[in-house]
Homo-oligomer: A and B are copies of this chain.
Amino acid sequence: MGDAPLPNPVIVLAFFREIPPAFREAIQNKFPDANLEALVLQRGEPIPTDVSRKATVIVTFTNLPTPEDAAHIKVIHFLSAGLDHLIHHPVLTQTSIPVTTSSGIHGPPIAEWTIMNWLVASKKYARSYENQKTHTWGSHDAYMDGLHDQVGKKVGILGYGSIGRQIGRVCAAMGMTVHAYTASPRTTPASRRDPGYIVPGTGDKDGTVPVSWHHGTDRASLHAFLALGLDHVVVCLPLTPQTTHMLGADEFALLSARRRTPHIAPYLTNISRGKVIDQAALLASLASGELRGAALDVTDPEPLPGDHPLWEAPNVQISPHVSGLGEEYFPRSLDILRENLGRLERGEALINEYKRGKGY
């Protein structure tokens, strides 16, 4: 690339539904020199040859070109944070075209989803909500007993990436203590930094929020972490063979046995993938009271069938894999792409570049 300016980018945006005119206009404003082509494709459907061959930039969740059609493509930008669904695609395994993700943009909305669910549970929001429907002014007594706040609570965050960091940041502001768990050791200040995209004004760039760091990929390391006396465990891990069913009956029993507060059992939050949790074990631990409750944005399978017992499990709050969504989603993702087009032109390392072979 060097000093020669790139030609005007030809951005192909492959999406699963028609893009609203206002959104198209917003994209064009973000890339005033670009030729923008928007395609509506089914999930996983290849990008047609004639479109791929003239594209220089692909923006997509699941639609990719063949390697043969990708000769002019400078970067493939994913609208998702993870690529576990596509890491075996030929354009990833047979080319070296830079691939970037939207990792980092999910921190604020998912942190808000997490905190919202905790507070809805700990403050029994449904009581006020239902009372309002019937115009009922509740009694004070009902709000003194069994309600507690988050000050002093200990939260263990499994996977301290951009999402875990924003959750941790808000937790610290709420008076909680944050404990981080990562796969590889983070013993130096440099290793604790967040190298990826961070939504301005959020996150934990330098990794100063956690009061303790822990790591490992084996059961013993995980169990040592779960024995810290946690009030909350939040799952922010990518789904890999190692993390599949990482939390099950043994882990819930351990969490519960080592709880910090005798009368408040630990609370589980999963914003990662349903299969990280052994869902049958979760159902049992909720039923027994070993766990106080769970906020689940992801389930196994999805959509969760209407007759699945998880819908009625005690103190479970389920949402349909939407914790990262909202109006800010696309503008933030395209901010990353814009930053990287500048870096490509200047011959600099990209942010949020997918490292082939690491599996996430």
Contact partner of A304 (CB less than 8 A), chosen from B120, B137, B139, is B137
Contact partner of A327 (CB less than 8 A), chosen from B146, B311, B317, B321, is B146
Contact assessment for A128 and B319 in the assembled complex, using a CB-CB cutoff below 8 Å: yes
The total of chain A residues at the interface (CB under 8 A) is 64
Q: Tell me whether A327 and B148 are in contact in the complex, defined as CB-CB below 8 angstroms, given that A129-B126, A140-B320, A306-B135 are known contacts.
A: yes
How many angstroms between the C-alpha atoms of A317 and B131 in the bound complex?
10
How distant is A23 from chain B, measured CB to nearest CB, in Å?
A: 10
Taking CB atoms, residues of chain B closer than 8 Å to A129 are: 126, 129, 317
**Which secondary structure dominates chain A's binding surface?**
loop
Q: Tell me whether A125 and B120 are in contact in the complex, defined as CB-CB below 8 angstroms, given that A112-B150, A317-B132 are known contacts.
A: yes
Contact assessment for B199 and A151 in the assembled complex, using a CB-CB cutoff below 8 Å: yes
Interface residue ranges, A against B (CB under 8 Å): 17, 108-109, 111-113, 115-116, 119-120, 122-123, 125-126, 128-129, 131-132, 135-141, 143-152, 169-170, 172-176, 199-202, 302-304, 306-308, 311, 317-322, 325-329
- In the assembled complex, 24 residue pairs joining A and B whose CB atoms fall closer than 8 Å, in A order, are A108-B150, A112-B119, A112-B174, A113-B123, A116-B125, A119-B119, A120-B120, A128-B317, A128-B318, A128-B320, A132-B311, A140-B322, A140-B325, A144-B327, A145-B327, A146-B327, A147-B325, A147-B326, A147-B327, A151-B199, A151-B201, A170-B173, A173-B174, A175-B201
